[in-house]
Amino acid sequence: MKEYSDNEIIECLRNRQSYVVSCLSKRYMPMIRFMVYRKGGSNEDAKDLFQEGLMIILERIDDRSFALTCKFRTFLYCICENLWKALREKREVEANYLAQTTGTEDDTDFTESLDRKLYKSIFLKAFDSLDESGRKVLKLYWQEKSPREIADTLGFTYGYVRKKKSVAQAELVERVKKHPDYKRIMGAEG
């Protein structure tokens, strides 16, 4: 396998020379897999993060003013690590939401019931404000469909589904955080 310099990698990616992706996978996937395993993830999580990380890098290097200020390996690792943190946080939120919604009414007091309803209302308003394709992609993702299955179901490309999922999740989090009731709750708890 040819060893590419960081500048050669950037230029190959800018020119969409697909063979470099295979080289990057062989060279850096073990590092990403180790990071994900160490933090409780799976091989599938590592593959998804690696692909998402490369997509983000492609977006950034398309800006001709982009200049790599560290080693490519470090750049990729940091992006994947941030994606992993965001994914874990999302999973925790989903688990907490699921735990809150699956409890029985008899187990909770009146204020917990009101809180649960308010959290659900905030989430649903934020979710409903997303564009239709974002809502569809997230609903299928939450039903544990793979990006490939979602692409086939909705007639989108695999890359579009992965990008749309990422963008829709980020928009959803931002919209929840900007909701006046969320700000009020967080202000009261802080």
Task: For residues 169-177, give the mean pLDDT.
Answer: 89
* Cβ–Cβ under 8 Å, residues 121 and 181: yes
* Cβ–Cβ under 8 Å, residues 46 and 81: no
| pTM, two decimal places | 0.52
Tell me the per-residue pLDDT of 40-51, one tens digit each, with 9 for 90 and over: 888 898 999 999
Tell me the per-residue pLDDT of 14-50, one tens digit each, with 9 for 90 and over: 888 888 888 899 999 999 999 999 988 888 989 999 9
Give the DSSP per-residue string, 90-127.
HHHHHHHHHHHHHS-GGGS-HHHHHHHHHHHHHHHHHH
8 pLDDT above the threshold of 70: yes
What are the structural domains, with CATH classification, of the chain? Answer: 1-83 (1.10.1740.10), 103-190 (1.10.10.10)
Tell me the per-residue pLDDT of 90-141, one tens digit each, with 9 for 90 and over: 887 777 766 666 654 455 566 666 767 778 888 888 888 999 999 999 888 8
Measured CA distances, 90 to 35, 64, 105, 141, 171 (Å): 18, 33, 25, 12, 13
